[in-house]
Amino acid sequence: MIDLRDMAQGEQQVGKFQRLQPLGILFSIAGLALFAYFVYKVGAGEIVDGIKKLGIGFLLVLLISSTRLLVRSIAWTLCFEPPYRLRFLDALKAVVIGEALSSLIPLGILISGTAKAILVRNRVPFMVGLSAVAIENIFYSLSIAIFITCGTLAFLYAFHLPDIWMTTSYIALGIVAASTIFGYIVIHRGWRFSSYIAEGLYRRGFLKKLLETGREDIRQAEDRVYGFYRHNRQKCIPLILLELCFHGAGVLEIYVILSFISDTPPTLLTAFILEVVNRLITVVFKLIPFLFGVDEAGTGNMMRVLNFEIETGVTLAIIRKGRIIFWTSIGVLLLMRRGFSLKEIAEESESANQAMAKHQSRSPLSASEM
Q: What is the dihedral sign for C-alpha 34, 39, 40, 41?
A: positive
Nearest to 143 by CA among 276, 321, 295: 276
Rounded average pLDDT over 37-63: 78
How big is the CA angle at 285 (ends 283 and 287), to the nearest 5 degrees?
A: 110
How big is the CA angle at 44 (ends 311 and 62), to the nearest 5 degrees?
A: 70
**Predicted pLDDT at 303:** 82
d(CA 273, CA 313): 13
Nearest to 129 by CA among 144, 142, 139, 114: 114
d(CA 358, CA 116): 23
The answer to whether residues 136 and 242 touch, using CB atoms and an 8 Å cutoff, is: no
Whether residue 73 has pLDDT greater than 70: yes
The pLDDT-based confidence of 14 (bands split at 50, 70, 90) is very low
d(CA 356, CA 12): 13
d(CA 246, CA 137): 13
- Share of the chain residues as helix, strand and coil, in percent rounded to the nearest 5: 80, 0, 15
For 101, residues 6+ apart whose C-beta sits below 8 A from its C-beta are: 108, 111, 112, 115, 331, 335, 342, 345
Q: What is the DSSP letter of 265?
A: P
**Predicted pLDDT at 258:** 92
Instruction: Compute CA distances 136 → 61, 79, 238, 349, whole Å.
Output: 25, 6, 12, 19
Q: What is the pLDDT of residues 291-349, one digit of tens each?
A: 776 777 778 778 877 888 888 888 888 888 889 889 989 998 898 888 776 666 656 65
Nearest to 357 by CA among 94, 126, 27: 126
d(CA 7, CA 10): 6
Whether residue 23 has pLDDT greater than 90: no
The span from the first CA to the last CA of the chain, in angstroms, equals: 8
d(CA 51, CA 298): 19
Q: What is the pLDDT of residues 205-235, one digit of tens each?
A: 777 776 777 677 677 767 777 778 888 888 8
d(CA 294, CA 275): 14
Tally of residues, the chain: 370
Whether residue 62 has pLDDT greater than 50: yes
In the chain, % of residues over pLDDT 70: 74
d(CA 94, CA 99): 9
The pLDDT-based confidence of 80 (bands split at 50, 70, 90) is very high
Q: What is the DSSP letter of 266?
A: P
Whether residue 264 has pLDDT greater than 80: yes
